[in-house]
């Protein structure tokens, strides 16, 4: 039995840019999340707004990227314009510039029409800081990291890579000073913007309750580098000459509270029109794990 729901893999999106010829190169990871609206459609179904989540630094300075999804025996890419004709950014970031999160609303009709395979993670499976505390999620708990390290996204189809790790540091001080927490898991360029999931526990120590759901914990920001400087001994005193940088194996993860801050501004405050309803996911979509997105 897999501890990682298959729908989570379908929620992960390869963010790509054109490469040589007609090829594309994966530069980062994104994933789809769904937040419930206060409205229902005419059939009485709960409506959800779907968003693509990644890092601010993934979108920053770019005019467009391509989103890759699986379809049948292959895959399909959709162009996402990040700047409109008025030179305005079409995506949103947190007002705090040190919070490395970028969010863009995704409409919900085109991908379903095209028959692509994808899913989204509902708000009820997101562990915000208060839920992390109430559930007792802490250092040493195991996690999964999903994404496309080093651009390894597959040739014919999109294949998200799953890596395992543990929560290394999760406390109020690091949250307040860095707007992130630490995991012990090797991540690389291409993992940026990917989801971090709690590994469901089958057993627990006496006196504690196992958490049997794969909660979404946060967004990969990047790894912490280990730096070492080489000095020239032919000068007096010795002078620094070369700086070496290595992956420390520790990575920063942005909590979902910052994603919710952005989404709260983007959520519609009025009844959706019929056209808007077509672009939203429903409760039925969530149960089936097949919500939809539009081509942009």
Query: For 215-274, what is each residue's pLDDT tens digit?
Result: 999 999 999 998 888 777 777 787 777 877 889 999 999 999 999 999 999 987 666 666
103 has a pLDDT exceeding 60 = yes
CA nearest neighbour of 198 among 144, 162, 139, 250: 144
In a domain, 204, yes or no: yes
In a domain, 97, yes or no: yes
CATH of the domain at 127: 2.40.10.120
* pLDDT tens per residue across span 123-176: 999 999 999 999 999 999 999 999 999 999 999 999 999 999 999 999 999 999
93 has a pLDDT exceeding 90 = yes
The count of structural domains within the chain is 1
In a domain, 270, yes or no: yes
pLDDT score for 135 = 92
In a domain, 266, yes or no: yes
In a domain, 296, yes or no: no
In a domain, 293, yes or no: no
Computed over every residue of the chain, the mean pLDDT equals 87
52 has a pLDDT exceeding 90 = yes
Domain extent for 192: 6-288
């Amino acid at each position: 039995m897999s501890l990682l729901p298959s729908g989570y893999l379908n929620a992960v999106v390869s963010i790509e840019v054109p490469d040589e010829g007609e090829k594309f190169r994966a530069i980062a990871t994104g994933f789809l999340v769904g937040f419930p609206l206060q409205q229902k459609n005419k059939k009485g179904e709960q409506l959800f707004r779907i968003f693509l989540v990644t890092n601010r630094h993934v979108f920053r300075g770019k005019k467009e990227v391509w989103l890759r999804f699986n379809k049948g025996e292959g895959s399909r890419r959709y162009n996402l314009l990040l700047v409109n004709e008025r030179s305005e950014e079409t995506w949103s970031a947190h007002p705090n510039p040190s919070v490395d999160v970028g969010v863009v609303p995704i409409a919900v009709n085109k991908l379903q029409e095209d028959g692509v395979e994808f899913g989204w993670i509902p708000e009820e499976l997101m562990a915000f800081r208060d839920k992390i505390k109430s559930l007792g999620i802490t250092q040493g708990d195991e996690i999964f990291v999903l994404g496309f390290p080093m651009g390894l996204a597959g040739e014919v189809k999109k294949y998200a890579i799953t890596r395992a790790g543990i929560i290394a540091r999760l406390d109020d001080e690091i949250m307040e000073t860095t707007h992130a927490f630490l995991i012990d898991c090797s991540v690389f360029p291409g993992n940026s913007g990917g989801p971090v999931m709690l590994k469901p526990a089958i057993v627990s120590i006496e006196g504690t309750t196992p958490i049997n759901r794969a909660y979404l914990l946060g967004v990969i920001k990047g790894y912490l580098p280990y730096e070492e400087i080489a000095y020239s001994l032919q000068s007096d005193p010795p002078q620094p000459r070369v700086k070496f940088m290595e992956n420390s194996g520790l990575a920063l993860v942005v909590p979902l509270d910052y994603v919710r801050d952005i989404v709260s501004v983007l959520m519609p405050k009025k009844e959706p029109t019929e056209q808007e309803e077509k672009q939203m996911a429903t409760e039925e979509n969530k149960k089936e794990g097949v919500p939809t997105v539009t081509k942009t």
